[in-house]
Amino acid sequence: MSEREAPENTDAELEAFRRQWQAEVQSRNSQQSREAAPSTRPRRNPPPSSSAPKPKPQQQRHHDQDAEEEAAPQVYYDLPDKEAELKLDAHEQALARGHLTKEPESALEHYEKAVEKETMGSLGDSVALYRTAFKMDDRVHEKYKNKHFPPSAFPPKPKPVVHQQQPNPSNASQTVPGTAHHSSHGLPPTLSELVDQFSQLSIPGAPAPTDLDAPPPCPIAELPGEILSEILTWTAVNDLASLSKLSLVCKRFAYLVMTDESVWKRVALGPEFGFAGMHYNYACNVKGEPVEPDFEDDAAYLSEGQDQDAEETQLAPLPRPSKTTLEIDNKLLHSLYASSWRQMFRSRPRLRFNGCYISTVNYQRPGATNTSSSTWGTPILIVTYFRYLRFFRDGSCISLLTTTEPIDVVHHLTKENMRSYASGSLLPNSVMKDALRGRWRLSGPGDGTSSQEAEGDVHVETDGVIPKYMWKMQFGLGSRGKKSAGNNKLTWKGFWSYNRLTDDWGEFGLKNDKAFYFSRVRSYGMGY
């Protein structure tokens, strides 16, 4: 082939390919108009380029079919027409435009319209409709409730079925836990019933670090009950709060803390926190010097510092109860506290020595007006002050009235600071300059006779502001709340002053004074 014939043959081939391509496009367009529903197979092929080789007849047929599928729109005739369903008919369209709004006639219709307006936010229209509805029928709200919220729409709740507790219901396996205590089958168990379920449990050890390792040993779980009881007793004597925290370790410890009466008997009868540290007669004078209880009475106290004859100083001893303290405690245990040392320790009145009792007083009073200038009103003064009472195990106490906050006072309420200030030395903090020395005792315990006082009152005697006076206070021991610990509240019952020179008694008013609340101070330790 020569060089001149080569371009001519190429042009002829291009012209033939162009005519063939035009014919294919025309046939494709005519076929698209004839077919109503083309295939929906999503297949895409790139358009042929001029440089691509000439396709074979079979490949060309597939190519034309794919192009037709891509160009034709996809119409699904088997799906419902959702737009038609959303269209409103003529009546509904008229109601939507507001042309055919039905005016309410009955009271119920007015009420329903009012509810609709309130939902839309038209509160003014809804109030007017509500008024109209209630004018027509004052019980229209009950009709609305019965129509839209009938009782049949709310099925009644099934009543809980109370099953009697059985040791092994329905002969179930012993490995299956009992279900008699579940709340879904009746009332939840009481505290005593719940604790009884822990009686057969043991102290669990720590879990294994991994599934392949053996669990670590737990030596305390192997101890007998007598040794565990001694450990609990030692813990309670040193720190009673730690005993309560120990019950949170496991269910076995909770059972021992709740039911071990030997522990609570030691705590109740011990001097650390129990009633052995209480004084039912004055054990010292106001200055804190110990005295013999048999020769201590009000006459001896009031005659302090006066010259008396030898015969006058020998006072007759006070009558002592015929029963010992242990016998009285045993009698109170069975008569008032259901033979439970734990209940007796929690409920019987006793003072606490590891903290102090604080009373916060706030009141208002009118202030003085300035006569030299004109004022629009009378000034109001807000007065705030604090009362502090700390009791010691030897029968002495410290009373303080000051405006200083507790954070700056409680750490200075010690007998050492009291003696230092009395000797003339200055303290870093001058709050103790107004502190008063005193003594305390509890009422009772009574043995059923009329001559004995009712147990539960606290009597406090302190020095006065000047030497010729003496203060006497009486409080009632109580609890701050139902869930709080007992004996943490002192309620005022009386406040008197005694004049040593004139032998006169005067009573102070308790209009603004508030009750004392116990606050633990860690620096006090055990309160010795």
Weakest mean pLDDT among 135-139, 153-157, 197-201, 478-482: 153-157
pLDDT at 154: 63
pLDDT at 76 over 60: no
Same domain, 381 and 521: yes
pLDDT at 352: 92
Closest CA to 497 of 463, 471, 468: 471
pLDDT, greater one: 173 or 111: 111
Same domain, 194 and 342: no
pLDDT in tens, 189-216: 777 777 778 888 888 888 888 888 888 9
Share the mean pLDDT of the chain: 76
Residue pair 460/445 in contact by the 8 Å Cβ criterion: no
Among all chains, which residue has been given the structure tokens 């309130």? Answer: 118
Same domain, 197 and 335: no
Weakest mean pLDDT among 10-24, 35-49, 101-115: 35-49
pLDDT at 371 over 80: no
pLDDT band at residue 417, thresholds of 50, 70 and 90? confident
Ordered DSSP codes for 215-239: PPP-GGGGS-HHHHHHHHHHHHHH-
DSSP single-letter state for residue 518: E
Q: How far apart are CA 352 and CA 487, in angstroms?
A: 8
Residue 296 lies in a domain: yes
pLDDT in tens, 504-526: 999 998 888 999 999 999 899 88
pLDDT at 447: 45
pLDDT at 302 over 60: no
Residue 295 lies in a domain: yes
pLDDT at 448: 42
pLDDT at 221 over 80: yes
Cα torsion angle, 419, 425, 428, 430, sign: positive
Residue 254 lies in a domain: yes
pLDDT, greater one: 291 or 91: 291
Same domain, 235 and 123: no
pLDDT at 456 over 60: yes
Weakest mean pLDDT among 82-91, 143-152, 412-421, 511-520: 82-91
Same domain, 383 and 477: yes
Same domain, 299 and 407: yes
Instruction: Please give the average per-residue pLDDT across 350-360, as a whole number.
Output: 94
pLDDT band at residue 496, thresholds of 50, 70 and 90? very high
Of 89, 120, 150, the domain-final residue: 150
Instruction: Please give the average per-residue pLDDT across 381-386, as a whole number.
Output: 91
DSSP single-letter state for residue 362: E
Taking the CA atoms of residue 123, residue 128, residue 132 and residue 133 in that order, the dihedral angle to the nearest 10 degrees is 0
Same domain, 353 and 404: yes
pLDDT at 337 over 80: yes
Residue span of the structural domain in which 295 resides = 279-368+377-528
Instruction: Please give the average per-residue pLDDT across 260-273, as a whole number.
Output: 92
- For the chain, the domain total comes to 3
Q: H helices within 239-395, ranges in order?
A: 240-246, 251-259, 261-269, 298-302, 310-313, 325-336, 341-347
Of 96, 129, 150, the domain-final residue: 150
Among all chains, which residue has been given the structure tokens 């100083």? Answer: 313
Same domain, 243 and 359: no
Same domain, 293 and 384: yes
pLDDT band at residue 497, thresholds of 50, 70 and 90? very high
Burial class (CB in 10 A: 0-12, 13-18, 19+), 472: middle
Contacts of 210 (CB under 8 A, 6+ apart): none
pLDDT at 205: 86
Same domain, 143 and 241: no
pLDDT band at residue 429, thresholds of 50, 70 and 90? low
pLDDT at 459: 94
Please name the helix (run of DSSP H) or strand (run of DSSP E) that holds residue 364, with its range, or none: strand 355-366
Cα→Cα distances 44→24, 47, 430, 444, 468, Å: 18, 9, 97, 104, 115
Enter the pTM of the model.
Answer: 0.57
Weakest mean pLDDT among 10-19, 90-99, 130-139, 494-503: 90-99
Contacts of 484 (CB under 8 A, 6+ apart): none
pLDDT at 213: 87
pLDDT at 46 over 70: no
**Highest mean predicted confidence (pLDDT) among 153-157, 181-185, 465-469:** 465-469
Same domain, 449 and 503: yes
Residue 141 lies in a domain: yes
pLDDT band at residue 319, thresholds of 50, 70 and 90? very low
Weakest mean pLDDT among 20-29, 190-199, 267-276, 405-414: 190-199
Same domain, 144 and 199: no
Ordered DSSP codes for 438-449: EEEEE-----S-
The proportion of the chain whose per-residue pLDDT surpasses 70, expressed as a percent, equals 67
pLDDT at 9 over 60: yes
pLDDT at 64 over 60: no
pLDDT at 355 over 90: yes
Residue 17 lies in a domain: no
In our burial notation (b when 16+ CB lie closer than 10 A, e otherwise), range 203-218 reads beeeeeeeeeeeeeee
